[in-house]
Amino acid sequence: MNSESRPRLLLAPQNLVTLGNLACGVGALVLITHALLLDDPRKLFYAGWWLVLAAVLDAVDGKVARLTGTASSMGAQLDSLADAITFGVAPGVLAVTLVQIHGPALDIHMHPRLLMVAPIIYSCCAVLRLARFNLEHEGDDPNHPHVSFIGMPSPGAAGVPISLVLLWYGIEETRVVQFSPHTVLVVREWILIALPFLILLMALLMVSRIPYPHFTAWMGRARGPVAPLAKIVLFVGLLTLEPELALAAFGLSYALIPLMMNLRSVFRQLRDS
């Protein structure tokens, strides 16, 4: 690569979008720190939305690269490095911080080692998954998008703890569906109890060999133009009406449906090993 092309490559549109993804991830970590240091738990809610914005940027950076004709190996490597922070580190820290801050008030006391080990394992598996993806697709044409993945992609895995943290705060302020105070309390208790174990499950799914679809490719996949448009309208409509509920439903469905569809092969692999 000559010296004149380097600045142009660094300032390529998709790289700027990817750096926006990274900035949102770091910003979320700063907000999590402020939630602890300033005794302001509501900042966890804002951190969750910063990570949602990062996921949106991550979903469009590849499309920006192909539309502008600036797809490159450097962009792919930069994307993985940004994902390692935004979707490999921040979601686990966000989830255990929620448990640590709000758990005692609901008489939920997780073992400190679990709250330490769970995000560490999650981060390690996210980085391993990103490294494996780069190795397996080293020679791929960056102008051709991926329609599926082997193992759960890190943004999809991050969607589960992020959406549940948002649901923890948002369930009390739903617009269409109104929940009783008792239901709100039960849901919040189950979220706090489940989060550390869901983090560990997401870690295993990332390094598994279970096939997962590319979400944006699935949204646009259909024989005619009506079905993709209907998917987009439904997705945007639900997000507009009940954003936290919709994100939790989409995140859990994306994580668990492929797992349930491939349980037989998973058990077969475990038996053979």
pLDDT digits (tens, 9 = 90+) for 49-81: 999 999 999 888 777 777 777 667 777 788 889
pLDDT at residue 228 in the model: 65
Indicate whether this model's pTM tops 0.85.
yes
Extract the tokens encoding 221. Answer: 């996949």
Q: Report the sign of the C-alpha dihedral through residues 170, 171, 174, 176, in that order.
A: positive
For residue 28, what are the CA distances in angstroms to 18, 21, 22, 46, 95? 15, 11, 10, 8, 12
DSSP state of 148: E
For residue 80, what are the CA distances in angstroms to 37, 48, 140, 155, 256? 30, 20, 15, 11, 24
What beta strand segments (E) does the chain contain?
A: 148-150, 211-213
pLDDT digits (tens, 9 = 90+) for 172-211: 887 777 888 899 999 999 999 999 999 999 999 999 888 8
Q: For residues 158 and 126, give the distance between their C-alpha atoms in angstroms, rounded to a whole number.
A: 9
Q: Which residue has the tokens 């190795």?
A: 135
pLDDT at residue 224 in the model: 58
Residues of the chain with pLDDT under 70: 1-11, 70-71, 139-147, 216-228, 231, 266, 269-273
